Structure 1
Amino acid sequence: MTKFSMKIIPELLLEEYKKNFPKELEQKFENLCDAEISNDSFSFYTSVASVFSSKIEGEEIELNSYVNHKRFGIEFLPDYTRKIDDLYEAYSFAKVNSLNKKNISEAHKLLGRNIVALAYQGKHRIQNMFITTDDGKIEYVATIPDLVNEEMKKFYDDVDYLLNEELSFSEVFYFASLIHLVFVKIHPWNYGNGRSARLLEKWFLSEKLGEKAWFIQSEKNYYQKHKLYYSNLRTLGLEYEVLDYSSALPFLEMLPQSLFL
């Protein structure tokens, strides 16, 4: 990497991360291929991503049912599939569009059609945001509204720089995970932040490594380990202003594990 002062995406764990990066991972990535069931109008792994990213957010949908719906036209009640269909469209959009501020907003409009009020689709929030547990305790206090635009400007600048920088294979995974993590900690949308963050992670991988990135089952891995996923997110701290990214390594190491599924 050339000399550049990252504005919001931290580099402090990069060398430690690279030391522990699985040596066989690049070959595992090269061995990835699409599923036989996929065709020009249906992507199995986009279905996997959409279903499991939605399940992390509490949607009650099963992969087999969704594949039957999407690939074979089996009808279900609209409420069962519409949010997953929206996320599928956002992934499909990302596959054919560049990762940038405008297109991130467009992707949120797609995935948020049935979860976010129209006035806030693709727009940064102007309200306070608290993440709470099921029993009503505050789990995380996101960026204050007055700072969201400023923090996202730093985020977009860093992403633009990384997209134009030559990175090693392990560095791509490191920064993809941090794009996911920093975005979800800023929490720029009223709703749909987790879905967006997991999409951005995959989107960045595809920009740097090519279309095989879309076959990585990261969303499935996060869902299968969702208690650990949320625990690793919480480790950084309760409030945005005091986040400790030196504690982020357990979260960053989850993405590479997705290639062992």
Structure 2
Amino acid sequence: MNTYQLQIVKDDLLGSFSKKIDAIALSQTFSKLEDAEISTSDFSFYTSVASVYSSKIEGETIELDSYIKHKRFGIEFSPDYTRKIDDLYVAYQFAKEHIPNKENISKAHGIPTKHIVAKNWQGRFRNQNMYVTTDDGRIEYVAASPFMVTAEMDKLYNDISTLLQNKLDITAAFYFASMIHLVFVKIHPWNDGNGRSERLLEKWFLAQHLGPKTWFVQSEKYYYQHHQEYYNNIRLLGLEYDDLNYGAALPFLEMLSTAVLGKE
């Protein structure tokens, strides 16, 4: 039963998810999150963590220590070493000040892909087939057909709007943030920058329900440290977009809360 009247985001597993998540522990741990002492009015340590590790998942070679030296202390590195991470940092700052709607999600894609895709494709859906592959050239999964992308994303935008209008408890907020992440992964709407966008959107949605402490969650770091599990759990849903089985999504959905609780 679709309790929230959603079009593409699945709520079928919410009951099972709630039984597996210790809501009290999650709430208590989340409430204790604090900003780092090194942060200032002009520098966010945890936004740096998010930007670095989300970029590292996509193959960037930058290290957190080097990026902090660059961003916090003004130490110069090669522009090619820091440019894409700087762009993603700005996208996180943008998200903190805006709601995740259709227009802003599109804008938020254009920011971190400034030096990744051509300007005319920033914030614009792809018009080609998309096959996500492994490092050894195997097909990881087949994304939504380009003829479906606009309609599927409109459903996702609708569901995000619907869920933002509902008051969600912490368990439901974590569930739907993760499910939005997963649906976005499978649609894969952009030519590039999908991974950066989906991890930002997950946290962006969560922050709308749980407030600014959300930005201290080190989910991107957790996903990077467990990137094989991250991709394995995405793979569980199946290869072809038209045949996805969201009933197999629980292992992926649990990863975000695990990133907060610090348990394996």
CA distance in structure 1 between the partners assigned to 2:195 and 2:231 by the alignment: 11
Q: Displacement of 1:3 after TM fit?
A: 4.8
Provide, for residues 159-200 of structure 1, a one-character-per-residue CA deviation record: whole Å limited to 9, x for no partner: 000001011110000000001000011000000111100000
Alignment of structure 1 residues 1-261 onto 2, 5 Å:
3-22=3-22, 23-261=24-262
Q: Secondary structure at the match of 2:141?
A: strand
Letter in 1 for 2:165: N
Provide, for residues 134-174 of structure 1, a one-character-per-residue CA deviation record: whole Å limited to 9, x for no partner: 22222211000110000001000000000010111100000
CA distance in structure 1 between the partners assigned to 2:114 and 2:135 by the alignment: 25
Q: Secondary structure at the match of 2:111?
A: helix
Q: Secondary structure at the match of 2:140?
A: strand
Letter in 2 for 1:18: S
Letter in 1 for 2:120: A
Q: Secondary structure at the match of 1:131?
A: strand
Q: After the TM superposition, which of the residue ranges 168-177 and 21-30 deviates more from structure 2?
A: 21-30
CA distance in structure 1 between the partners assigned to 2:140 and 2:154 by the alignment: 25
Provide, for residues 26-64 of structure 1, a one-character-per-residue CA deviation record: whole Å limited to 9, x for no partner: 011110110000011000000000000000111001000
CA distance in structure 2 between the partners assigned to 1:57 and 1:215 by the alignment: 21
TM-score calculated relative to the size of structure 1: 0.98
Cα 1:222–1:3, aligned 2, differ >3 Å: closer, same or farther? closer
CA distance in structure 1 between the partners assigned to 2:158 and 2:203 by the alignment: 18
Q: Displacement of 1:5 after TM fit?
A: 2.1
Q: Which stretches of structure 1, 4 residues or longer, exceed 4 Å deviation after superposition?
A: none
Q: Secondary structure at the match of 2:185?
A: helix
Letter in 2 for 1:176: A
CA distance in structure 1 between the partners assigned to 2:198 and 2:33 by the alignment: 23
Letter in 2 for 1:8: I
Letter in 1 for 2:210: L
Letter in 2 for 1:249: L
The number of residue pairs the alignment matches comes to 260
Q: Percent identity?
A: 60
Q: Displacement of 1:4 after TM fit?
A: 3.7
RMSD, matched Cα: 1.0
Q: Secondary structure at the match of 1:166?
A: coil
CA distance in structure 2 between the partners assigned to 1:216 and 1:135 by the alignment: 32
CA distance in structure 2 between the partners assigned to 1:3 and 1:173 by the alignment: 17
Gaps of 5+ in 2: none
Provide, for residues 108-153 of structure 1, a one-character-per-residue CA deviation record: whole Å limited to 9, x for no partner: 0101001111110001111110111222222211000110000001
CA distance in structure 2 between the partners assigned to 1:16 and 1:4 by the alignment: 16
TM-score calculated relative to the size of structure 2: 0.97
Q: Secondary structure at the match of 2:256?
A: helix
- Contact 2:4–2:11 (8 Å) recurs in 1: no
CA distance in structure 2 between the partners assigned to 1:199 and 1:92 by the alignment: 11
Cα 1:82–1:8, aligned 2, differ >3 Å: closer, same or farther? same
- Contact 2:25–2:261 (8 Å) recurs in 1: no
